[in-house]
Structures are given as structure tokens and as C-alpha cells.
Structure 1
Amino acid sequence: MSKELARHEIRKKAVQALFPLDVNQALEKTNAITAALELEQDEMVDDEQEHFVPEYLDFLVTGVCDKKAVLDEKIEQHLRKGWRFERLAKIDVIILRIGLYEMLYVEDVPNKVALNESVELAKTFSDEQSRKFINGILSTVNTEMEAS
């Protein structure tokens, strides 16, 4: 396999790395990424049978960690009245952070791609209600960004 994984697969690995980082504050980013990569080791071996960390995975996990407060504030701003950030499912928050990070900070990922990829992640890691919730939040942010 080449060192270039599909970004969709990298986003899945990012969810798998960011979730334990969110739950365990003492966990090191590199350890979380390594653990996520070990879930399906055969995918992460290059042509010389050496393990590697896809560049975009490190970029995405680092970026989401660095911008966590900004991303969480953006999520909170778009919650319906009466909803509290603390009550959201952690996995949904992780997926929203990834989608928002790509929409706000990654120029080579179109907003609609980031939105659609987040919906696909919700299909994999969450349920139908969460998929609709994530789609709603990110669609609203996308509409606001297009209007400005």
C-alpha cells in the first residue's frame, strides 16, 4: 500500500485518535495516533513494510487539538435553545470538531466535502439522529460562511 491513504480513512483514524484524547487528558497525542493506527495495522504499512503516520492524520489531530476551544465555542453557538454542550455525545463532538476544523482552517478541502465527510463519519461511529444533528450544525455554519 502506498503512503497516501484516502482522506476518508484518515478522518476515521482522526476520530479514533481524538476520542481517547478527549476522554483522557493525560494521554499524549502521539500515543493516541499510534493506538488509532494499530487498530488496522495492515493499512498503515508502506511498500517497504514500515509503519508510518499519514501526514494529514497528524495535521488533522494536531489542528483539532490546537483549535479545540474555538471549535467548541462555534458548536455551542449553533446549539438550539435549551441544549447544553456538556450533554452532547462525545463522539458527535469529535466529528463536529473535525468537520468544523476542515471548514474553517483547511483551504484545500471544500466546505461541502468537509460536511459530507462528517456525515459519513457519523454513519460509521454514531446513529441516525446524530447524523442529522451533525448535518444540521455544519450546514448552518456552511451557509453562514457562504453568506459572508
Structure 2
Amino acid sequence: MSTSRLTRREIREKALQALFQLKTNEELTPEEAIKQALLSDSEEWNSEEDIEIQEYPYLVTLVHGVLDNQAAIDEAIQPYLKNWTVGRLAKADALIMQIAAYEMLLGDTEQVPQRVALNEAIEISKLYCDEQSSKFINGVLSNLIPKTENP
């Protein structure tokens, strides 16, 4: 499977899956989690050894970006959680917000505008979370867009 066969949304979903695995299995390395996420629904590979993660630079960037900047990301999100903490959120909700916040605050916003990262998070949350979570994620992440850009 080449990177051209994974859309940016699919890459974000794989990042979510890899980060979720890392949250639930602390013995995994990020690279192992990425390989497992890629292997999870692929018919092309038989094992993790067949996967070259360097063929997925954006996936690696997202996973390591969230892991390496988790404290700063959580600090940016926390003021908008209203009576919640990141640690109390459902894992999928928190990870979707962390991935989007990484893209919005620390990523290349010329390549991925903040509104695109926000919309992608909402769409992915519709697949992995309930409707209330999608609305909550939208409300929290909307606050990360500078007010000059917010209509």
C-alpha cells in the first residue's frame, strides 16, 4: 500500500488508532502501534515486517507530534473543556481533539488550514464517537481558531 492510497482522513484515522493502542498498551512503541494500525484493515500485508512506515510520513508526524507535544496540546484544550479535564474524557474524544489541536496549533496551517483540521476531527468523531461527542469536540476545537477567523 502506498501513501497515495490513503487519504488524509484515513491517515488521521490511522493516527487515532495508533495513539489509542499506545494509550491502552504502554509496552508498544509508536512505530509498532503505527504498523498495527496500518495492518488492521489491510489485505496487502501479511505482517508488520511488510510495512515500511517511512512511506507514511504524515502519519508518523501526527503520532509523534501528539506524543511529543501532549502537554502543550492539553494545556491549549483544557480552558475550553468546561468542568472536564482531558484525563476524564473518553479516550477517542481526547485523542481526536489532540490530533486536531496538533494540526491546528503546531502543524503547517498552510498545508492543513485550521478549519480543515477542525472539520476532519468532527467527521472522524462521527465515525468513532457518539453525536454528543461530535458536538463537544466541535465546541472545544472551535475555540482554538483565532477570533479573527471565527465568523
Give TM class, smaller chain: 0.7 to 0.9
The answer (yes or no) to whether the contact 2:35–2:51 under 8 Å persists in 1 is: no
Find the aligned partners of 1:64 and 1:145 in 2 and give their Cα distance. 26
Equivalent position amino acid for 1:129 in 2: Q
Structure 1 residues 43 and 117: alpha-carbon distance in aligned structure 2, compared to 1, 3 A threshold: farther
Query: Does residue 1:138 correspond to 2:138, yes or no?
Result: no
Q: Is the 8 A contact 1:13 1:36 kept in 2?
A: yes
CA contact (8 A) 1:96 1:118 kept: yes
In structure 1, what is the Cα distance between the partners aligned to 2:24 and 2:51? Answer: 26
State the TM-score, normalizing by the size of structure 2: 0.85
Question: C-alpha offsets along residues 59-116 of structure 1, whole Å, 9 cap, x if unaligned?
Answer: 1111111011111111212111x32332211110000000000001222100010000
Who is 1:59 aligned against?
Answer: 61
TM-score, normalising length from structure 1?
Answer: 0.86
Runs of 4+ more than 4 Å apart? none
Q: CA RMSD in A?
A: 2.0
- The alignment partner of 1:130 has SS state of helix
Amino acid at match of 1:72: D
Shift in CA distance, 87/51, structure 1 to aligned 2, threshold 3 Å: closer
**Partner of 2:144: helix, strand, or coil?**
helix
2:44, 2:7 → 1: CA distance?
11
What is the number of residues matched between the two proteins? 142
- Distance (Å, rounded) in 1 between the aligned partners of 2:148 and 2:62: 21
- Residue 17 of structure 2 corresponds to which residue in structure 1? 16
Q: Identity of aligned pairs, percent?
A: 46
Give the direction of change, closer, same or farther, for the CA distance of 1:36–1:145 in structure 2 (3 Å limit). farther
Aligned to 2:101: 100
Structure 1 residues 111 and 44, CA gap change in structure 2 (3 angstroms): farther
